[in-house]
Structure 1
């Protein structure tokens, strides 16, 4: 059975290889290890830097307006070594479904790396990509790429897990019709219009190599976006309409109150999902019961605690 394949910065749980000889114990990555195949990499160690080491940083030259990777203490320029390693490493990736990279790192950071004027102590800004992550984001812009800090946020973590495991199911499945039927509601919660394009491919009953590739390309396009609260709620409401005529007044009233509570952020989405699944089981609605919309990734990975920033259950 195939597992999602994730590339992770080595200092996150795998080796104490930071510039100061330390590492990080990240709970998200720890919980993932049972369910995914992880390849760990430290670009800075791979280009020959020692552990510990004098830190490197990104510097910019006012005249040339280009970024260089400099060891400030020695003023040694590691740009060429890093670019060479990065291109070679990425060109040899055979299969990958996502990345978790170290935040604020001059090699792995994502839009949070400090940039300095050449030789200066004060940073110019702190929203650059690291040298390694920049190439990853350019080549794999259709895959989920996150840093460990952002994954402390429940909504971001939920989106990352959902994308990674959806990609894995698509790669594992030999029959895109089966994949489509099981993931239909999930895909609709991302993008209804693009899901209609997928429906047309499936309904054509002409699943040749060209259409198979077209289908998968649209999947990648769909999951480049994020599910939002409204999109998920519409799916729940549409399913509920299937059962409305078979429910009594009090049941309908109760479910409507759940929706209202969810919209007011008093309950998590999982409360609605559980309620709708109970109805699906009650009416033996296998089409709904088997939807990955309700469990897009292993239940053991669900943890609604987060950093408290940007939370949207």
Structure 2
């Protein structure tokens, strides 16, 4: 379904450097202070081949909004790749990054990078999709003020202080290209932050405050109960959003309903299936 909305370029680095399919296993070994990509059975070293391919691939990839990498892969794993001592059959020193993925991480620190295993978790997947679609919307927007207004609450849920900096950048009678570039770089910086439970909770509480005078005591108590349930990890953040959106519809709050905070990416991509891996409400 993701392919319906974004252009995906698939690549297998191990095939690209000439390894066959199927192939004998390769792994990362630590040789003194160097990490090498070794095919255990033949003892062939493919480190230079992989580094050269990675540099060539990244130099030609062009515009990109994010990466999805293969978990545990000695070429593409992000953090869970087994690192072996030189020549060892079984013992593992630690877990680390793949040769190809390390090049990506070093070159693209300001865009989302995830492995496909972690994306089976609903919250991690939601954050990843939120970030790549927000980045793309920023890139394709012809009106930075309109982007700012529609994404204001979403960005505040990452960092309210940094959003104040954004507002200062564009709060001028005339915005020049330098201001726009500065604004876009700051948005990337904001989206690199991890949205904490406290940030999410405070954002929703702020929205709820604007409706409290219009609600009955029982409605207020019910929503405050939901807030407490979320705080205690009994319900997901999405449950709070559904409830608050009902009030926005009820009071015809178009400004709030136009916020990407509620729908940062296409609804058809929403899936509540969850492996539980890396669970974080």
Q: TM-score range by the shorter chain?
A: over 0.9
CA gap of 1:123–1:87, structure 2 versus 1, over 3 A, is farther
Residue 199 of structure 1: how far off its partner (Å): 0.8
Q: Give yes or no for contact 1:97–1:168 (8 Å, CA) kept in 2.
A: yes
Match in the other structure for 1:96: 64
Which residue of structure 2 lines up, in the alignment, with residue 49 of structure 1?
A: 19
**RMSD (CA atoms):** 1.4
Secondary structure of 1:146's aligned partner = strand
Gaps of 5+ in 2: none
Q: 1:101-116 residue pairs with structure 2 within 5 A?
A: 101-116=69-84
125, 137, 141: which one aligns with 1:173? 141
Q: Which has the higher mean CA deviation after the structures are superposed, 264-273 or 152-161? A: 264-273
Which residue does the alignment assign to 2:5? 35
Q: In 2, Cα distance between the equivalents of 1:104 and 1:311?
A: 19
Q: How far does residue 133 in structure 1 lie from its aligned partner after superposition?
A: 0.2
Deviation at 1:288, TM superposition (A): 0.5
C-alpha distance in 1 between matches for 2:145 and 2:248: 22
Q: Distance in 2 between matches of 1:285 and 1:306?
A: 32
Equivalent-residue separation in structure 2 for 1:57 and 1:257 (angstroms):
51
Q: Does 1:291 align with 2:262?
A: no
- Cα separation, 2, equivalents of 1:121 and 1:37: 41
Q: Cα offset for 1:135?
A: 0.4
Partner residue of 1:226?
194
String of CA shifts for 1:104-163, please: whole Å, max 9, x gaps. 111101111112222221243341111110000000011111111111122211111111
**Alignment correspondent of 1:302:** 270
Do 2:28 and 2:36's aligned partners in 1 also have CA atoms closer than 8 Å?
Answer: yes
Q: Which moved more, 1:176-185 or 1:124-133?
A: 124-133
**Residues 1:249 and 2:217 aligned together:** yes
- Alignment of 1:61 onto 2:3: no
Structure 2 counterpart of 1:154: 122
TM-score (norm 2): 0.95
Which SS does the other structure have where 1:57 is aligned? strand
